[in-house]
Chains A and B, each alone.
Chain A
């Protein structure tokens, strides 16, 4: 009987260990051409964004007109899938975005119709919805006889904006190989170093927590703000910071902005997993910020939680 119990305990432990090692949420990756590459090759459009003139990359046009781009993206996607990450295909994602033509431009309060006191959600960011953007560009140095390819591949955490992996360099001069072959070689010879630095980042996430951003906003028709002292022994903003202190890995976060109507937190380190009903589950910014949402609800503050991928959460205080 005792032996049976021991066996059962061992099996349960093994199962728990197995589960705990495979439940963190996998970030989604997507390979896109760098803005500079799009600009140099003429795949951009000049827009007027609230008075600011700027060039935006036209990925669709680039994919349609440049066959080398499709080749490089396909090759990187293939190498990523070999390593257990199925990357989102830029072309397929763009088609999805096109289908959602009536994309919501401004967020409005469900109950009161009040508008948020912040800039509208950038439509461009919606095009690149992946958690990690693999941005690549290349330049060909052609002196008439020999060709040389300079290749840059950067991994960017879409929500923190940080560069988390990179590889770059110029290949050997070649006078006989066609350009697609040189590009293939440029990718294959650099991908190992790139993925090794990506792995270092992932190891850091499991060790010190995943970095996310958190925003707090206040609907303009709410009678209180973040400086109100009606919810506890301190201003609401400080109460929120106390909650962050208790719920971040090693209490690690940075307060970027703290004003009466908005707060921004960056480098917020959240755990990769959490336990619920005895099961280990993957944590993302939404699940984690739900804790803060519940904490505020307990204080009588109705709030709305929105997310942008795995790594950015915003709480709107005052109404849903």
Chain B
């Protein structure tokens, strides 16, 4: 009897710790997100509407590299555009037509970039596929690392979603 009670107590404790850990991770990821501290390198475009990108995220914790790189890639595609990379990659204009889009739709993007994992289909992660979580890892300060992650972003699908949500205008809007 005592053994069973002990087992149940340990089980509850483990579940609780795991939950707390995942909450901490989520909080960490959201804190890192707010900084938008990253660099993007275009690797190529295998087919129309899917970009292959290498994201360099400046992070304190390597364990959130995958999720953070996904957010950064989507953020760059929407707001910054992707620079050309020699003959390897042509310039990709940002999906946002206005420089104030992020502040105009702050509420939408706060929810959009929330770290919910792949279960929420409306979340940023729906549009990203992480090919290699950590390709490079350089210590840039006492506590920070510059972590490279290889991802693909389904820009065509992302554009459709933002058009349907009336965040960006479609090419044929007004006609």
Residues of chain A having any CB pair with chain B under 8 Å = 21-22, 24-27, 75, 79, 82-85, 148, 167, 169-173, 185, 187-193, 195-196, 198-199, 202-203, 206, 272, 282
Distance, CA A140 to CA B93, complexed state (A): 26
* Extra pairs beyond A22-B174, A206-B174 (8, CB < 8 Å): A22-B175, A26-B175, A83-B172, A84-B172, A172-B87, A173-B87, A185-B45, A188-B48
Residue interface bits B84-98, CB-to-A below 8 A is 1, else 0: 001111111100010
Q: Which of B93, B156, B171 is close to A193, meaning CB atoms less than 8 Å apart?
A: B93
Minimal Cβ-Cβ distance residue in B for A197:
B93
In the complex, what residue of chain A is closest to B172 when comparing beta carbons? A84
**Contacting pair B87 A189 (CB below 8 A):** no
The reply to whether B92 and A21 contact each other, CB–CB distance below 8 Å, is no
Q: Is B173 an interface residue (CB 8 A)?
A: yes
| Interface membership of B164, Cβ < 8 A | no
Interface of B is mostly: loop
Q: Is the CB of B174 within 8 A of A24?
A: yes
30 pairs, A vs B, C-beta closer than 8 Å: A21-B173, A21-B174, A25-B175, A27-B175, A75-B48, A79-B48, A82-B156, A83-B170, A83-B171, A84-B175, A167-B90, A169-B90, A172-B87, A172-B88, A173-B87, A185-B45, A188-B45, A188-B47, A188-B49, A189-B45, A189-B89, A190-B90, A192-B49, A192-B92, A196-B93, A199-B171, A202-B171, A202-B174, A203-B97, A272-B174
Across the two chains, which residue of chain B brings its CB closest to A26? B175
Q: Which residues from chain A contact B47 at a C-beta distance below 8 Å? A: 188
Query: What B residues does A25 contact at CB under 8 A?
Result: 175
| Candidates A85, A189, A199; contact of B90 at CB < 8 Å | A189
* Contact, CB under 8 Å: A192 / B87: no
Report the Cα distance A45→B158, complex, angstroms.
46
- A-chain residues with CB within 8 Å of residue B48 when the two chains form the complex: 75, 79, 187-188, 191
Binding site for A on B (CB under 8 A): 44-45, 47-49, 86-93, 97, 155-156, 169-175
Give the Cβ gap from B114 to chain A, nearest Cβ, in Å.
27
CA distance A84 to B93 in the complex (A): 19
Closest to B175 in A: A26
Taken together as a complex, chains A and B put the C-alpha atoms of A198 and B175 apart, in Å, by: 14
A79 to B156, CA, bound (A): 10
Minimum distance in angstroms from A22 CB to a CB of chain B: 7
> Closest approach, in angstroms, between the C-beta of B159 and any C-beta of chain A?
9
Find out whether the CB atom of A84 lies under 8 angstroms from the CB atom of B170: yes
* B172 near A26: Cβ-Cβ < 8 Å: yes
Distance of A149 Cα from B125 Cα, bound (Å): 34
- Partner among A22, A75, A198, A282 whose Cβ is within 8 Å of the Cβ of B171: A198
How close is B133's CB to chain A, nearest CB, in angstroms? 26
- Complexed CA–CA distance, A203 and B45 (Å): 27
Residues of B within 8 A of A22 (CB): 174-175
**How far apart sit A22 and B88, CA to CA, in the bound complex (Å)?**
39
User: Closest A-chain residue to B170, C-beta based?
Assistant: A84
- Shortest CB–CB separation between residue A186 and chain B, in angstroms? 9
CA distance in complex: A262, B93 (Å): 44
Nearest CB in chain A to that of B82: its residue = A192
Q: B64 CB to closest chain A CB, in angstroms?
A: 30
